[in-house]
Amino acid sequence: MKTVFGPVPSRRLGQSLGIDPVPFKTCNWNCIYCQLGRTSPFTLERREYVPRTEILEQVQEVLDRHDPGEIDWITFVGSGETCLHSELGWLINAVKQETEIPVAVITNGSLLHLPEVRRELQAADAVLPSLDTASERLYRKINRPHHSLTLDMLISGLRDFRAEYHGQLWVEVMLIKGLNDGERDLQALAAALEYIRADEIHLLLPTRPPVEPWVEPPDEVTLQRAQLILGKRARLVIEISGTFDLSSERSAVEALLSILTRHPMCESNLLAALEKWLPGKGAQTLESLRSTGRVQVITRRGQRFWSMAQAHYTEEMDNLPDMRLKGLTK
Ligand code: SF4
């Protein structure tokens, strides 16, 4: 599977060419809202998971195939934690020598307490770390980090990075109904974000299939209150649909699998987008990928999503009796 995918339509970064530098679900957090299922391997090890030259060659190939203006951002966005790749700094600098397209890094931010990680990210045009709460208890409950990572390390790492970094720092906050959307928790979070001095605060909702089926977005009133408390730098980032590019691999099907590995998609958006690349054959192609065990359908709050088969989601309660039955009849 290639590490470069797309371009795909991004909620904030227009048509974004993705670079995924770590193997599937290699992460040091195991967030309850992760759209890619449960974390495995759960690790803190930084290393060159994919050879840096191989990644750069793939970026060069894709850039050669696209005209100026077709790609808005080049985004390091892992199907795990991007900063676990030990050559991230080299890669950002190498990509910037190839093109003037701005480079963004999406990270959970948990390794920003390490001076070398902060140094490596300096060349990026935008860095998008996460901070979902200012409570250690909620940090453990929502992000389920590696036991050696504390909230203090996360917040002080973000603050130190802000002091050293001159690009755009956009902190992502995932809002979850009944967990981090209470008034007192939001006020504590607003104080932490003030201390970090982010340029923007991006409020996200768990609209893609969360690993835990009980994870839900807050209601409209709570959302408005959250925006008020978090202040004028906070804005809600709405999920968008749009075209994606399936020309980055040998076949449209391989490119589709490459995208689904990083971005599970809701069925209606997926079928609409597939019409351009596989006219009249979208549904049939998906069904054949499912019957051969390469992709799966996940249902969340009545909506069907397509995701890679290797992602492990917690089953919805409604489906449990069937699962148990299957287990008994095996
Ligand atoms: S949402 Fe990001 S940080 Fe959280 S478990 Fe998934 S890949 Fe890791």
- How confident is the model over 278-295, as pLDDT tens digits? 899 999 999 999 999 999
Ligand 1 centroid distance, CA of 30 (Å) = 6
Helix (H) or strand (E) holding 120: helix 115-120
Cβ-in-10-Å burial (0-12, 13-18, 19+) of 29 comes to buried
pLDDT (tens place) for every residue of the chain, 330 residues total = 689 998 888 878 999 999 999 999 999 999 999 999 999 999 999 999 999 999 999 999 999 999 989 999 999 997 999 999 999 999 999 999 999 999 999 999 999 999 999 999 999 999 999 999 999 999 999 999 999 999 999 999 999 999 999 999 999 999 999 999 999 999 999 999 999 999 999 999 999 999 999 999 999 999 999 999 999 999 999 876 666 777 766 788 888 898 898 889 999 988 988 888 889 999 999 999 999 999 999 999 999 999 999 999 998 755 544 444 344 332
Whether 81 lines ligand 1, by a CB cut-off of 6 Å, is yes
Q: Residue 263: helix, strand or coil by DSSP? A: coil
Residue 231 token pair: 């202040």
Closest protein CA for atom 6 of ligand 1: 34
pLDDT at residue 320 in the model:
46
Looking at ligand 1, which residue's alpha carbon is closest to its atom 5?
A: 30
The answer to whether 324 touches 220, Cβ cutoff 8 Å, is no
Structure tokens at 278: 């596989």
pLDDT (0 to 100) of residue 133: 98
Residues near 130 by Cβ (< 8 Å), separated by ≥ 6?
107, 108, 109, 143, 171, 172, 173, 174
Please give the share of the chain, as a percent, with pLDDT higher than 90.
79
Task: Confirm or reject: Cβ of 128 under 6 Å from ligand 1.
Answer: no
Candidates 195, 216, 179, 181; CA nearest to 302 is: 216
Does 149 contact ligand 1 (Cβ within 6 A)? no
- Confirm or reject: Cβ of 285 under 6 Å from ligand 1: no
Question: Tens digit of pLDDT for each residue in 71-96?
Answer: 999 999 979 999 999 999 999 999 99
Domain boundaries, the chain: 4-236
Provide the whole-model pTM: 0.92
Ligand 1 midpoint to CA 108 (Å): 7
Q: Is 181 in the pocket of ligand 1 (CB under 6 A)?
A: no
Q: How far apart are CA 105 and CA 107, in angstroms?
A: 6
Q: How far apart are CA 71 and CA 18, in angstroms?
A: 10
Instruction: Please work out whether the CB of residue 31 comes within 6 Å of at least one atom of ligand 1.
Output: yes
Domain 4-236 has CATH 3.20.20.70: yes
DSSP 8-state class, residue 315: P
